[in-house]
Amino acid sequence: MDVLISPDELALRLSGGLPEVSGTAAERTRILDVRWTLNEPDGRAAYRAGHIPGAVYVDLDTELSDHTVSGRGRHPLPTPAALQGAARRWGLHPGDTVIVYDAWNNQAAARAWWLLRAAGLQDVRLLDGGWPAWKQAGLPVETGDPVPGAGTVCIDGLDHLPSVDADTVAERAASAGHVVLDARAAARYRGDEEPLDPRAGHIPGALSAPTSDNLTGAGTFRGAEELRRRFTDLAGATPVTVYCGSGVTATHQIAALAIAGIEAALYPGSWSEWSGDPARPAATGPDPG
């Protein structure tokens, strides 16, 4: 699985420097701007002020989540039909190469990466370093509103990547044959603080593995070998399941695992779903149990 693309390689594609069998690389490349953070969930103003030429803005809260669902955490997954409608608005067609980026070390863009891969799109990549890396490279910038697309991509399910429910993640966290990774910051894992969800702590048996440790100081992903060592030290050769606060940054962890050559399942409801159920236990402190 090709997970990443560099700014220079994307610029080369957009310039038509990478011809393909059917059409040019530029014609078959779609770019999605997924700028979102907890503090600034609406990234439209930032998008209008400057974005990669041809990029379409994607709203994580309304297009990559389904807030009509209750009891499934802060960012429930969208239905396949809703995701298809959004992907067509973005102008996606079968066979496209889709590049996603944000300005938050790809921690929001990874949600779009995971969803589109789960929907069966074959070539979806994260722009390594995101918007800051594009600007630092001095590459072209476009301003203004997006032009609506008219794509034809078909999505009939989200089963091309594995995901699990709360009961399954509970079984896996208690099993010696699985490893469950908590991708949140270590302070939230320990229960020192909980600014967002009903209770502090972590799923009993889960290991702390903050997404920040996937990155270099420049905000790019660490190399494949370095990531492989990180996750092998944590999980050995056992199957991996990942969760975070609401199923967003956990997808960044899954992307890092994919770079390392390790498949992992997502628990979409994550801690926001788990902690909202009083029947589910919570552990605190630095240890899993």
Residues assigned a catalytic role = 244
CB neighbours (10 Å) of residue 176?
Answer: 7
Beta bridge partners of 289: none
DSSP letter string, 88-131:
HHTT--TT-EEEEE-SSTTTTHHHHHHHHHHTT-SEEEEETTHH
The three-class DSSP label of residue 197 is coil
What distance in Å separates the CA atoms of residue 193 and residue 133, rounded to the nearest whole number? 32
Report which residue type is found at 27.
E
Q: What is the dihedral of CA 75, 77, 78, 83, to 10 degrees?
A: 120
Query: String of b and e for 10-44 (b: at least 16 CB within 10 Å)?
Result: bbebbeeebeeeeeebbebbbbbbbbbeeeeeebe
Q: Could you tell me if 249 and 184 are in contact, meaning their C-beta atoms sit under 8 angstroms apart?
A: yes
What distance in Å separates the CA atoms of residue 227 and residue 256, rounded to the nearest whole number? 7
The three-class DSSP label of residue 211 is helix
Report which residue type is found at 134.
W
| The two structure tokens encoding residue 100 | 């996603």
| The two structure tokens encoding residue 220 | 């790019």
Give whole-number Cα distances, 50 to 4, 21, 45, 73, 145, in Å. Answer: 22, 32, 9, 32, 10
